[in-house]
């Protein structure tokens, strides 16, 4: 473990906790409630505000702001938090905000995330492990992003949207609805275009399971019947396929948003108001 180093041009306020081996570069500003884990590297011009915790081994590039107050008019200024996991890479000009006191009060970012330049994580988001936000990707407040999901460059994700595990959101998309696990969406407004087959294969998923999932996909989004009815039959027929059951559970656990559907269906066909 390297020696802890704080550059003379950095400002570390009283009360901040700096872990062993952390490297604090020039012109960084660490607030009094921040907790910086072991072997964290803040390269330069990094601002760590409010009650922000950065996990061990995370590397933060210049001009990043972590723990800024939520951009939410309902927030009244109570102490809220930002929790960032281990071994993340946070590139230039990324912003992540603390939670809001009108909601959960905490923004959670998992381990091994890769946040490319100019991406943004808003208040009260829950971001899983191994998530990638590419250049300029933006998460609105209260989003939930599953493990290994990829959000393409310049893509905006509407507040309260859920993105399932290993989903892929194509670049320059406007994602207004929930994205099923393993799903691939693209467009403005984004539509579902099957599965993220590249990601599934890279994860080691067996060919037989992929075939089962594709058949389940066709059944779920069969326009001859409502999606809710299709889900009931798929839950019975594909009970032996865990990945399909993961999708069924995701879709039956309704939250604030409708789900992204294939181009041949309308948002209303998912059973929810597309504006709500």
Catalytic residues: 123-124, 141
From CA 235, how far away is CA 221, in angstroms rounded? 14
Dig out the tokens for 206 from the structure: 């067996």
Q: What is the largest CA-CA distance in the chain?
A: 68
From CA 70, how far away is CA 209, in angstroms rounded? 42
Residues 177 and 163: beta-carbon distance below 8 Å: no
From CA 121, how far away is CA 205, in angstroms rounded? 30
Which DSSP string do the residues of 198-214 spell out, in sequence order? HHHHHTT--HHHHHHHH
Instruction: List residues bridging with 5 in a β-sheet.
Output: 23
Peptide bond before residue 6 is cis, with ω within 30 degrees of 0: no
Residues 110 and 54: beta-carbon distance below 8 Å: no
For 89-128, the three-class secondary structure string (H helix, E strand, C coil) is EECCCCEEECCCCCCCCEEEECCCCEECCCCEECCCCEEC
Residue 157 vs residues 58, 178, 199: alpha-carbon distances, Å: 25, 9, 20
């Amino acid at each position: 473990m390297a020696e802890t180093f704080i550059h003379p041009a950095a400002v570390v306020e009283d009360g901040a906790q700096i872990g062993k081996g952390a490297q604090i570069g020039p012109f960084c500003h660490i607030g009094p409630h921040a907790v910086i884990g072991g072997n964290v590297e803040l390269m330069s011009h990094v601002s760590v505000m409010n009650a922000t915790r950065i996990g061990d081994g995370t590397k933060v590039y210049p001009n990043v702001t972590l723990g800024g107050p939520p951009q939410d008019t309902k927030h009244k200024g109570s102490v809220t938090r930002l929790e960032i996991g281990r071994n993340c890479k946070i590139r230039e000009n990324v912003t992540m905000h603390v939670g809001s006191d009108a909601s959960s009060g905490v923004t959670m970012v998992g381990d091994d995330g890769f946040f490319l330049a100019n991406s943004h994580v808003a208040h009260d988001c829950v971001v899983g492990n191994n998530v990638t936000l590419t250049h300029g990707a933006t998460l609105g407040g209260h989003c939930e992003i599953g493990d290994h999901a990829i959000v393409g460059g310049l893509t905006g994700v509407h507040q309260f949207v859920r993105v399932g595990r290993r989903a892929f959101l194509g670049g320059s998309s406007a994602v207004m609805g929930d994205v099923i696990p393993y799903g691939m969406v693209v467009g403005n407004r984004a539509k579902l275009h099957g599965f993220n087959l590249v990601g599934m294969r890279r994860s080691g998923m067996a060919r037989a399971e992929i075939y089962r999932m594709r058949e389940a996909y066709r059944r779920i989004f069969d326009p001859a019947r409502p999606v809710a009815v299709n889900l009931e039959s798929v839950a019975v027929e594909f009970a032996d396929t865990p990945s399909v059951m993961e999708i069924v559970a995701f879709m039956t656990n309704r939250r604030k948003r409708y789900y992204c559907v294939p181009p041949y269906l309308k948002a209303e066909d998912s059973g929810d108001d597309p504006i709500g």
